[in-house]
């Protein structure tokens, strides 16, 4: 099993764990919200329920992305990973808008103050979600997965909305009569946080779909590896694009124009091998051999 496949499977497993946790928490929050007259807790539970769908999409996207190349997808199925991230990010934004509209309606309609026991539920949720966020985001950064990091921020968003709910319910309980809508205003704040995270999550996924050049050291690492090969005079037009958790490289390599085609072909193979040794996430390298002399490479 190669590193990319292993990383994708690890991401799929962590997404599945997130689904299980969200099912438990969503059920607990909605039930406690109904019993405790806390709309912000119900809204938080609905947001967790949406996270279940989000984790399912992430899990499915990673499973598809892990499939090997085939006749119709010679570059593999890696684009399924950012596509999943885009679907989830749009779902997050839509959920924020829907919950905000419901919160406004609740503010306009008089209702009971929330029950004190709902605060205990929220404390447990915040602790569980923060631990889950830290675990998932660590894996997402390690494997450079847009989808896994999107799933991680889902958990952080849930923790933040639960903190907002805790504060809103606390104000409603401490303030007493006339402060019953404090939890609804807290829900509005939570919706703003959710929507902002949705936008932040959408941007990197769109960049990946558009084949935006990756940032970081990978381009320098590719060029250093190519220039270390005997016979390479210079390199130009180092193009790197991300496909799921893998990278594909197009590189122009300048060699002595007087060597044979066979020697040039041998150098190209050495360059490809050196680059893939430098970073095991690089799935393939296309090397263009150009004769050096009389100007820059074409």
What pLDDT is stored for residue 286 in this prediction? 92
Residues 88/91/92/98 CA torsion (nearest 10 deg): -170
Q: Residue 141 has which token pair?
A: 């950064």
DSSP class of residue 165? Answer: H
Q: Average pLDDT for residues 4-10, to the nearest whole number?
A: 65
pLDDT given at position 288: 93
Q: What's the pLDDT at 241?
A: 86
Q: How confident is the model at residue 295 (pLDDT cuts 50, 70, 90)?
A: very low
Mean pLDDT comparison of 59-73, 99-113, 124-138, 283-297, highest-scoring range: 124-138
Highest mean pLDDT among 43-47, 76-80, 274-278: 274-278
Cα–Cα dist 61/65, whole Å: 6
Provide the whole-model pTM: 0.62
Domains in the chain: ranges and CATH: 3-209 (1.20.1510.10), 218-292 (3.30.70.1350)
Query: What confidence tier does 294 reach under pLDDT thresholds 50, 70, 90?
Result: very low
Residue 252 has pLDDT above 90, yes or no: yes
Q: What is the mean pLDDT of residues 106-128?
A: 80
Share of the chain above pLDDT 70, in %: 89
Confidence of residue 180 (pLDDT cuts 50, 70, 90): low
The Cα–Cα gap between 215 and 166 comes to 39
* CA 27-28-30 angle, 5° bins: 65
Question: What pLDDT was estimated at residue 267?
Answer: 93
Helix (H) or strand (E) holding 246: strand 246-256
Mean pLDDT across the stretch 283-288?
Answer: 91
As a whole number, the mean pLDDT across the chain is 81
Assign 271 to helix, strand or coil: helix
Q: Provide the β-strand partners of residue 286.
A: 250
pLDDT at 298: 52
Q: CA-to-CA distance for 114 and 192, rounded, in angstroms?
A: 22
Of 175, 47, 28, 24, which Cα lies nearest the Cα of 103? 47
Quote the percentage of the chain above a pLDDT of 90.
14
- pLDDT band (50, 70, 90) for residue 1: low
Q: Which residue has the higher pLDDT, 38 or 247?
A: 247
| pLDDT at residue 85, as a whole number | 82
292 versus 51: the higher-pLDDT residue is: 292
Segment of 96-105, 114-123, 227-236 carrying the highest mean pLDDT: 227-236
Instruction: State pLDDT tens for residues 149-167.
Output: 777 877 777 787 788 778 8
Return d(Cα 163, Cα 158) in angstroms, integer. 9
The CA-CA-CA angle for residues 207, 141, 51, to 5°, reads 75
Does the pLDDT value for residue 115 go beyond 70?
A: yes
Q: Give the per-residue pLDDT at 111.
A: 62
pLDDT surpasses 60 at 20:
yes
What is the mean predicted confidence (pLDDT) over 212-224?
82
Handedness of CA 18, 19, 21, 26 (dihedral sign): positive
Contacts of 62 (CB under 8 A, 6+ apart): 8, 9, 11, 12, 15, 80, 81, 84, 145, 147, 148
Question: What is each CA distance from 103 to 156, 182, 190, in whole angstroms?
Answer: 21, 11, 10
């Amino acid at each position: 099993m190669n590193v990319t496949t292993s990383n994708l499977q690890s991401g799929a497993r962590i997404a599945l764990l997130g689904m299980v946790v969200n099912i438990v928490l969503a059920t607990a929050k909605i039930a406690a919200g109904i019993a405790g007259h806390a709309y912000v807790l119900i809204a938080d539970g609905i947001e967790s329920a949406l996270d279940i769908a989000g984790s399912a999409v992430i899990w499915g996207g990673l499973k598809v992305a892990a499939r090997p190349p085939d006749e119709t997808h010679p570059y593999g199925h890696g684009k399924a990973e950012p596509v999943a991230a885009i679907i989830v990010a749009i779902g997050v934004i839509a959920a924020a808008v829907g919950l905000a509209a419901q919160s406004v309606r609740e503010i306009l309609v008089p209702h009971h103050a929330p029950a004190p026991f709902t605060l205990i539920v929220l404390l447990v949720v915040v602790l569980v979600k923060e631990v889950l966020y830290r675990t998932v985001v660590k894996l997402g950064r390690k494997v450079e997965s847009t989808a896994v990091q999107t799933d991680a921020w889902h958990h952080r968003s849930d923790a933040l909305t639960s903190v907002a709910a805790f504060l809103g319910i606390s104000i409603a309980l401490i303030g007493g009569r006339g402060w019953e809508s404090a939890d609804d205003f807290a829900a509005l704040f939570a919706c703003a946080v959710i929507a902002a995270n949705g936008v932040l999550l959408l941007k990197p996924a769109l960049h990946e779909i558009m084949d935006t050049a990756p940032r970081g050291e990978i381009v320098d690492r590719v060029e250093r590896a190519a220039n270390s090969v005997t016979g390479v005079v210079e390199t130009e037009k180092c193009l790197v694009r991300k496909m799921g958790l893998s990278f594909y490289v197009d590189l122009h390599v300048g060699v002595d124009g007087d060597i044979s085609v066979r020697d040039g072909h041998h150098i190209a193979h050495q360059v490809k091998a050196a680059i893939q040794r430098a970073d095991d996430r690089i799935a393939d390298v296309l090397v263009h051999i150009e004769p050096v002399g009389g100007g820059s490479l074409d």
